[in-house]
Amino acid sequence: MLVLGLVPARGGSKGVPHKNVRPFANHNLLHYTARAARGSGALDRLVLSTDSLEIAEAGRREGLEVPFMRPMSLGADDSPMVRVIEHALTEVESHGWSPDIVVLLQPTSPLRCPRHIRDAIAMLVESKADSVVTVNELPRDHSADYLLFRNADGTGRYCLPEGARTSRRQDARPTYWREGTVYAFWRETLKRFGTIYGEAFQLFVLDETESISIDTQRDFDRAEKLVLERDSGGWPSADRLKSRA
């Protein structure tokens, strides 16, 4: 099976301007994405999708392929990620190379490590699910059993009928949220369903201490501190990408 690692990095970030290329823990966010990807030893190609020449050049310096530029129309705040992925796949497939599996690696998850990528791919293959999504478990007092809707007249109702019968924290069911470290899916999933999730997706649960998603300057500063603390203990050198077949 051929596995594509796809790194989406647009140039127009507003929450944290220039976040993909600005200094971060002695390097930049693209560096940490590339390092984890290479270290996984599980990818046949590692491709950057960007609309920015600055990001493209930074990606090349980190060893990412930049075989095309993303159209500016796919670099807006509201550009659907699925359209970005479809564009990238169209580009690589137009040159005669088609992956069986796609692994989406957003640079905004710098705590990602090689094991996360390897394990997500293994889970996808072994489970025969349509996709694998990394998640964190929410505190039990944030369980979906406790979530409420507010009606137009101001009254409330439970999002889930079972919630009305849940009174003890211990009885609340685990609830998870997508935290963005890895999305792994079959190429066929996107073709069949038009989404990266499909109908049956597996949850790859990460501890909150090993994941962070950067959306704000506060996230950026906290992530930088965590990466510096982690790397002060050293990290084994990355393996090379699998040779292309």
Domain boundaries, the chain: 3-136+176-231, 139-174
Using the predicted structure, report yes or no on whether residue 218 has a pLDDT greater than 90: yes
pLDDT of residue 244: 38
Q: What b/e readout covers 145-160, taking b as 16+ CB neighbours within 10 angstroms?
A: bbeeeeeeeeeeebee
Reported pTM: 0.87
With contact defined as beta carbons under 8 Å apart, do 10 and 50 qualify? yes
Residue listed under structure tokens 């997508």: 178
Q: Is 224 or 173 the better-scoring residue by pLDDT?
A: 224
Q: How far is CA 114 from CA 76, 133, 182, 186, 212, in A?
A: 30, 16, 11, 20, 15
Task: Return the higher-pLDDT residue of 149 and 222.
Answer: 222
pLDDT score of 236: 43
> pLDDT tens digit string along 4-59?
999 999 988 877 989 999 999 999 999 999 999 999 999 999 999 999 999 999 99
Rg of the chain (C-alpha set): 19
Q: What percent of the chain has pLDDT over 90?
A: 71
Say how far apart CA 55 and CA 119 lie, in whole Å.
Answer: 28
Beta-strand runs (E) in the chain: 3-8, 45-49, 101-104, 131-137, 148-150, 156-158, 176-186, 201-205
Question: Residue 62: which residues within 8 A CB-CB, separation 6 or more?
Answer: 30, 31, 33, 34
Who wins on pLDDT, 37 or 239?
37
Q: Which fold does the domain 3-136+176-231 belong to in CATH?
A: Spore Coat Polysaccharide Biosynthesis Protein SpsA; Chain A (3.90.550)
Q: What Cα–Cα distance (Å) separates residue 165 from each residue in 97, 146, 157, 171, 172?
A: 53, 10, 12, 10, 10
| Amino acid at position 141, single letter | D
101, two tokens = 């599996």
pLDDT higher for 44 or 168? 44
Segment 69-91 shows an average pLDDT of 91
Closest by CA position to 52, among listed 18, 78, 22: 18
Q: Average pLDDT in the 223-235 region?
A: 83
pLDDT band at 241 (very low <50, low <70, confident <90, very high): very low
Q: What was the pLDDT predicted at 179? A: 94
